[in-house]
Structure 1
C-alpha cells in the first residue's frame, strides 16, 4: 500500500503504550519519508525509508488508522471564538515562513536550527515557543487550525489535582495586597462535607438557593463549636480565610451534578415528568389517520355566566369538554354545561362528536355546510385522564361501541398535550376578552370581574361553536410534522385540510352508528331489583307497562326478588330505562305514585337525601342503644321484685295442684280487677288504699305420686253438656 501525507501509522509490536506516527513529507522519488510521533510532547521529525514502512504495513506490524484524533480542529471559521482565532493567527505569523515553500529544509536538523535562529531574531520569540508551535502544527495535521489553543486539554481532564501546601487557583484581590495566601484547598474531607451539605440543604423540596445551601453547609459541617445566645445554640465559624469559598462549593457541585436527580429531589417525580423531562416524542405519532385516537379532557371555563331565566343571577363558571382528533388536530365534539368534570359532561361531549354538526349548529342560529365541520363519527380509541373515563361506564364504551379507552397516569396531563393546549388557545383567542372573564392579575381597587358577567349558557355555547369553526378551518400549524406523502401533495397545515387528506388517504378508522344506539350506550348503567313494591333502584321504586303486563311484581312476591340491568340519565330521576334484547332496546320506567315527592329532581339530590337518612340512622344508634339498656334494666328490676315477692309467699304445693286451679284463679282475679278498676263517676274522693288481697280457697295438699286424683265437677261442664244437647236436637 502506498503512503500518503498526514496518514497515521500505529506500531503494533512496540512495548510502549501507544506509538502513533504521522507522515509529514514523502520524497518525490519515493525513497524517503518524514514522520513524527503525535503523542510525544518532545517529538521531532524523523527520517525513514518508504520501503521499510511498506513492508511493516504488509506484515501487519503497522496498522493504518482511519480516525484522526485531531480531526476536531477542522471546524468552520464561524465556530471558532474571536480570541482563539487571534491566538492561532499570532502563532502562524511566527512559523508560517518556516513551513511554506521548500519545506524539506525544516525537516533537516542542521537547516532547521539555522532557520529557527533567524525566526528568533525576526519575531523575538524564544526557541521553546517556536518548537512548540512547529510540533503542534506537525502533530495536528499540518493545518493552520492545528495552532488553535487546546484549553480543553488543560488541567489533566478527568483527573483530580492532588492537594498541595500552596493555595491553588488565582489569588484573590486581598491576597494580592497582603501577599498572604488566603483560602484552603479542597481535599477529600472537605469535598465529602460539600456533598453532605448539598444532599441535606439543596436536594430537597425546600428549594433553597445554592448560596443558601452553602451557608447552611458552613454552619453545619465547618463550625468549631457553639455559643449560647438568647437561649439558642449558635455555631461559631472560623475566619473566612480558613473556610472554602462559594466558588469552590459551586465548582464541586457542578462537577458531580446530576441534573435529573436534582430536579426530582427538589420538585418531585411528578413535576419533573411534567416540566423538565426530555421532549423526544410527538403525539401525532400515536395516530395513523383521522379517528385513530381522540383526546378528551375538561376544564373549568375562565368566565362567569348569568342565568337565562334571571340575568341578575350569576351562576358561576361553566365546565368545558373538548374532543380533538390526534392526527389532524380537528375538534370533533364539545360540551358546555354546569356539571362538574364527570361522566355526564364526557357523555355529552361524546354524543356531540357523533351528531350531525349542520343540524347542531342550526339550533344555535349558525348555518354551515357539511364540509365546514365534517365530523359525526366514533373513533377507534379515546385517550383521557384517570377520571370520568375509568370504571364501568368506560367499560361500556369498550364492550358495546368497540372503542378502546386509554387513561394517562396520574398528574401526567402532558400525555394528552394536544387537547390541553387547545384550552389555552381558546382562552387567548376568545374567553380572555369576554365580559366576566377571570382576571388572574388583580390590583387593589379593581372592580370584581364577576360583576361583569353578561353571557348565559346558550350564548357561550354559540361563541364556542364559532371558536371551533375558526380553529378547524383557519388555525395554521406550521410546527406540524408533515410526512413525505403530505409534502408531495402540498397539504396545508390546517386541521380541516389534514382531516380531509387523512380521510382520503388513511381512512378506515372512523365509524358511524345510529344516534339512538350511541345515546343508549353512553347512558350510565347499573343493576336494579324487581321487588313486590316495584323496580327498586337507589331507594326509589319504578314501574312500567312491561312489568305490569308480565306480572313481575306478583312473581317477585311469590318467588323472591331478582336483578335486572337498567340505564339512567343523571339529569332525570323520574325515569329509568330497562336494557332489553341485549341492550338493543329501551323500556322506560316511571316513578310509582307513592314516590312522586322526588318528581323533577336529579339523582344527586335523591342520593344526598338517602345518604342523610343513613347518617341520621347511624347518629341515632347511640340513643337507641342507651334506650334499650334503660329498658332492659327496668325490666330486670321488675322481674327481680316479682321473683322476690313470689318466693316469700309461695306455699308447698304439688305442680299439678298449682296448674289445675288456673281457670278459677283467672275468674277471681278478673272480678277483682273489675271491682278495683271500675270507673266511679261523680265520686270526688277515691281511696288511695291498695286493693285487698283476695283469699284463695285452700286446696288439700296431695301426694306427688297420687295419680288417681280426679277434679270435682265444675259448673262450666254442665253448660258445655247443655250446649251439645241443644245442637244435637237442632240437627
Structure 2
C-alpha cells in the first residue's frame, strides 16, 4: 500500500475525535528536519498554535483520523473552505488596490503595520510560545494598541491562510440582516422628522401584537382582497389601529395618533416581507396551484448537458390536438380531439417516434410511441404512402427523458431491467425542463395544426359565429398522414440554432438540420445506436402483472387462463395439494405481460429467458373473449357501483324476510301454548306413528298429480268401478297380514 503524501503548508485538515466530533485545523509550519509540525484550530476564537511530533502526525494521518479537506465538490468542503478564506472587499474583489472599501483598506493597513515587526522575525520566532510574547509586547507598544488586539490580528492572520488579505475586516459578515432584532424599548432606526422635533412622538417599533396586526391586514386586504398598497394600509389602520365612534348611530373608526400607529414605510416593509418572503406561496394562494405550476413558476431550466451522440437520450411528451376529426367508420359524425405522444432525439432534435390515438395520454400511448421510435417504421410509413428509409430507421435509446405520469414506477423497473433503459423524470407542471420537445411541439402546431380545417381556436365562439366543427375534413388516418409528412419535412428542412453544433461538426461543415446532424452522428458517434428484435421490444413494453396459480388455472383479474407450461409442470395439482394440506406457505404468483386491448391472452414470462408463452382464456370465461382489459376494468367499476346502489335494496329485502320469520315464529308459538297445556315434556317428545301416518296419507292426496288430470266438473274420487255395498269388507293384503303377525320374542 502506497503511503499518502503529507499535506502542504496552509492546508485545512479535518480531525475526527473519539466521540465523532469534527475539528478543522490548518497546517502552519513544518520544521527543517520535518520532526515538528505546527497547527491552529481555524474556528476557535481563542485558539493558539500547537505542536505535533512527526510520529503523532503520522499515526493520525495513516489512520485517517486526520484528512486533508481540499475537495470543494462536497457540501462540507464548500462550506468549510469558504469560511477559511480571507474576507472580500465590498466591491467583491480580493485585491487591496480597489477604489472602493476605503474603511476596509485603512483597517487592513493598520493591522498589517502592527504585525510587520512580528512577521519579520520569521515563523521560527513568532510561532514559538516562549518567543512570541516579547514580540507581541514590542509590536503593541510600537503600534499604540493593546496586546489583546495584536494577538487577535495574529490569530486571524494564521487562521485564514497567512496572507495579508486575511486581515481584511469582514464587514460583510457583520450585522443582523434578515435576523429579528432585539428591542429594549427605544425606537430603532433613523428618527423621523416628527421624532426629531418632538422625541416623545418618535413612533413605535413593530413587534409582537403590532406585527401580527400588520400581517393580518396585509393578508386580508392586499393578498386576498386585491387592494392597492395605499388602500390596504388605510384599511389596516381602520381595522386594528382605531377606536369606534357610535355618535351617529353607526360605527366610525377614529384613528389613533400618528405616533401610536405604524408608518406607511413600516407597512410597506412588512408587506414586502409577507408577500415576497414566500412568493411561491403568495402566487399559489392567488391563482391556484395548477395555474402557478404551469404558467407562473420560475423557469430555472436544466443544465445544458451536451449528449454525445444520436440515440443517447430521447425526450418524450404528449399533447391534445385541438382539431375536430371525422369518424373513420361513418364520416357523417365527429370524434373528439386526438392525442399525440412523440419522442425527439436530444442530440439532433429529430422526430423519432409518434403515436396518434383517441385514448388518454398514459402508459399505453407512451409505450406505442417508444415502440415506434425503437423499431423499423417501413411498414408503418407505407400504410400512409410515405417511403423514406432514413425516417423509417429506429434505434433504442440509452435514456428516456419523460414526465412522471406516463410510466408508473413498476413499469419503469420492468422496462429498465429488460431493455437496459435509464429514466430521467421531471416533476409535473415543469415544461421548461423539457424545452427541446416543448419547442418542437410548438413548431409542429404552428406549421400543421393551425392551418388545418376544423381546428379550435383559443378563444370561445361567440353566438352567431361560424362553428369550426362544420369545417372538419380529416379522419384519424388522414390526420396521421399529415402529421407524419410534417415531421418528415421538419426533420429535413427545419433549421436549428447553432447550439446543436459542436466543434467537430463545424469542422466537417455540418448544417444545423435534424437529419444532417443525425446522419453525422450515426457515422462518427454510433456508440449509443442499439437495435432490438421487434418481438423482444414489444414483449418488454407490455404492462406486467402478477397472476396467481390456482387449482383451476392462472387467475388474473378474476379470470382464469390455461397454460401449457402449467400443465406440463403440474401447477394445478400441486396447488390443490397445498390447499388440501393447509400449507402455511402462501399462494404462488408468476409474472405475466398483457395487452390492455386483448383480454383473451396473457404472456407468461419465462424466468431467465427472453421468451414467453401464450396463455389463453378458459371457456367458462368466454363472455369476455372479445373484450379488452380496459373494457373489463370499466365493467368491474360499473359492477361495483351497481352493487353499492343495490346494497340498500338487498338489505331491505333481508329485513322483510327476517320480519316474516319472526312473525311466523310468534304465531306458531301462540298456537303451541294451547296444545302443550297439561302435557309433560316426555309426552311432547313422543312420536305418534298413527297420527304421522294419517297426515302422510292426507298429504299424498293433496300432492297427487292425478288430481290435475281430473275434469273440474267431476268429483275428485269418481271411478268406473261398480258401486259396492256398505257392508262389503275387502280381503286383507299381504302387508296387512305381515303387520298382524305377532313378533317373536327372545
After TM superposition, is the score higher than 0.5? yes
TM-score scaled by length of structure 1:
0.61
Tell whether 2:639 aligns with 1:613. Answer: yes
CA contact under 8 A between 2:559 and 2:617: conserved in structure 1? yes
Residue 602 of structure 1 corresponds to: 628
CA contact under 8 A between 1:226 and 1:234: conserved in structure 2? yes
User: Does the C-alpha gap of structure 1 residues 236 and 193 become closer, same or farther in structure 2, counting only changes over 3 Å?
Assistant: farther
Residue 611 of structure 2 corresponds to: 585
Residue 117 of structure 1 corresponds to: none
Residue 467 of structure 1 corresponds to: 486
CA distance in structure 2 between the aligned counterparts of 1:591 and 1:332, rounded to whole angstroms: 36
Alpha-carbon distance, 1:235 to partner: 4.2
Pairwise mapping of residues 287-686 of structure 1 onto structure 2 (< 5 A)?
287-370=307-390, 373=391, 375-442=393-460, 444=462, 445-478=464-497, 480=499, 483-529=502-548, 535-543=554-562, 563-580=589-606, 582=608, 584-592=610-618, 595-650=621-676, 652=679, 655=682, 658-659=685-686, 661=687, 663-674=689-700, 679=707, 682=712
CA contact under 8 A between 2:347 and 2:500: conserved in structure 1? no
Deviations 1:254-313 (A, max 9, x none): 986984633542336876676566656545417444333322221111211112222221
Alpha-carbon distance, 1:410 to partner: 3.5
Secondary structure of residue in 2 paired with 1:466: helix
Instruction: Give unpaired runs (5+ residues) of structure 1.
Output: 1-5, 21-54, 70-158, 169-183, 687-713, 723-731
CA distance in structure 1 between the aligned counterparts of 2:314 and 2:702, rounded to whole angstroms: 89
Residue 730 of structure 2 corresponds to: none
Greater shift, 184-193 or 405-414, is seen at 184-193
CA distance in structure 1 between the aligned counterparts of 2:632 and 2:477, rounded to whole angstroms: 28
CA contact under 8 A between 1:8 and 1:65: conserved in structure 2? no
CA contact under 8 A between 2:293 and 2:430: conserved in structure 1? yes
Deviations 1:356-385 (A, max 9, x none): 234432221112232xx3751222222222
Alpha-carbon distance, 1:321 to partner: 0.3
Alpha-carbon distance, 1:346 to partner: 0.9
Alpha-carbon distance, 1:521 to partner: 1.4
CA distance in structure 2 between the aligned counterparts of 1:721 and 1:408, rounded to whole angstroms: 98
CA contact under 8 A between 1:408 and 1:415: conserved in structure 2? yes
User: Does the C-alpha gap of structure 1 residues 234 and 634 become closer, same or farther in structure 2, counting only changes over 3 Å?
Assistant: same
User: Does the C-alpha gap of structure 1 residues 308 and 481 become closer, same or farther in structure 2, counting only changes over 3 Å?
Assistant: closer
CA distance in structure 2 between the aligned counterparts of 1:487 and 1:194, rounded to whole angstroms: 64
Alpha-carbon distance, 1:162 to partner: 1.5
TM-score scaled by length of structure 2:
0.60
CA contact under 8 A between 2:497 and 2:512: conserved in structure 1? yes
User: Does the C-alpha gap of structure 1 residues 658 and 321 become closer, same or farther in structure 2, counting only changes over 3 Å?
Assistant: closer
Residue 729 of structure 2 corresponds to: none
User: Does the C-alpha gap of structure 1 residues 670 and 276 become closer, same or farther in structure 2, counting only changes over 3 Å?
Assistant: closer
User: Does the C-alpha gap of structure 1 residues 193 and 630 become closer, same or farther in structure 2, counting only changes over 3 Å?
Assistant: closer
Residue 165 of structure 1 corresponds to: 194
CA contact under 8 A between 2:215 and 2:274: conserved in structure 1? no
CA contact under 8 A between 1:300 and 1:318: conserved in structure 2? yes
CA distance in structure 2 between the aligned counterparts of 1:440 and 1:562, rounded to whole angstroms: 54
CA distance in structure 2 between the aligned counterparts of 1:367 and 1:513, rounded to whole angstroms: 22
User: Does the C-alpha gap of structure 1 residues 313 and 272 become closer, same or farther in structure 2, counting only changes over 3 Å?
Assistant: closer
Deviations 1:145-183 (A, max 9, x none): xxxxxxxxxxxxxx9532233899xxxxxxxxxxxxxxx
CA contact under 8 A between 1:358 and 1:369: conserved in structure 2? yes
Residue 731 of structure 2 corresponds to: none
CA distance in structure 1 between the aligned counterparts of 2:98 and 2:237, rounded to whole angstroms: 56
CA distance in structure 2 between the aligned counterparts of 1:345 and 1:337, rounded to whole angstroms: 7
Alpha-carbon distance, 1:639 to partner: 3.4
CA distance in structure 1 between the aligned counterparts of 2:397 and 2:358, rounded to whole angstroms: 26
Greater shift, 211-220 or 316-325, is seen at 211-220
CA distance in structure 2 between the aligned counterparts of 1:206 and 1:483, rounded to whole angstroms: 53
User: Does the C-alpha gap of structure 1 residues 334 and 212 become closer, same or farther in structure 2, counting only changes over 3 Å?
Assistant: farther
Deviations 1:323-367 (A, max 9, x none): 122333222211111011111111110110112234432221112
| Higher radius of gyration, 1 or 2 | 1
User: Does the C-alpha gap of structure 1 residues 554 and 287 become closer, same or farther in structure 2, counting only changes over 3 Å?
Assistant: same
Deviations 1:59-91 (A, max 9, x none): x99x99999x9xxxxxxxxxxxxxxxxxxxxxx
Residue 282 of structure 2 corresponds to: 265
CA distance in structure 2 between the aligned counterparts of 1:550 and 1:228, rounded to whole angstroms: 98
CA distance in structure 2 between the aligned counterparts of 1:10 and 1:598, rounded to whole angstroms: 83
CA contact under 8 A between 1:227 and 1:235: conserved in structure 2? no
User: Does the C-alpha gap of structure 1 residues 392 and 211 become closer, same or farther in structure 2, counting only changes over 3 Å?
Assistant: same
Secondary structure of residue in 2 paired with 1:446: coil
Alpha-carbon distance, 1:491 to partner: 4.4
CA distance in structure 1 between the aligned counterparts of 2:249 and 2:341, rounded to whole angstroms: 60
Greater shift, 299-308 or 289-298, is seen at 289-298
Aligned length: 543
User: Does the C-alpha gap of structure 1 residues 721 and 433 become closer, same or farther in structure 2, counting only changes over 3 Å?
Assistant: farther
Secondary structure of residue in 2 paired with 1:480: helix
CA contact under 8 A between 1:291 and 1:378: conserved in structure 2? yes
CA distance in structure 1 between the aligned counterparts of 2:554 and 2:320, rounded to whole angstroms: 37
Secondary structure of residue in 1 paired with 2:455: coil
User: Does the C-alpha gap of structure 1 residues 252 and 352 become closer, same or farther in structure 2, counting only changes over 3 Å?
Assistant: same
CA contact under 8 A between 1:380 and 1:403: conserved in structure 2? yes
User: Does the C-alpha gap of structure 1 residues 368 and 548 become closer, same or farther in structure 2, counting only changes over 3 Å?
Assistant: same
CA distance in structure 1 between the aligned counterparts of 2:660 and 2:444, rounded to whole angstroms: 73
Secondary structure of residue in 1 paired with 2:348: coil
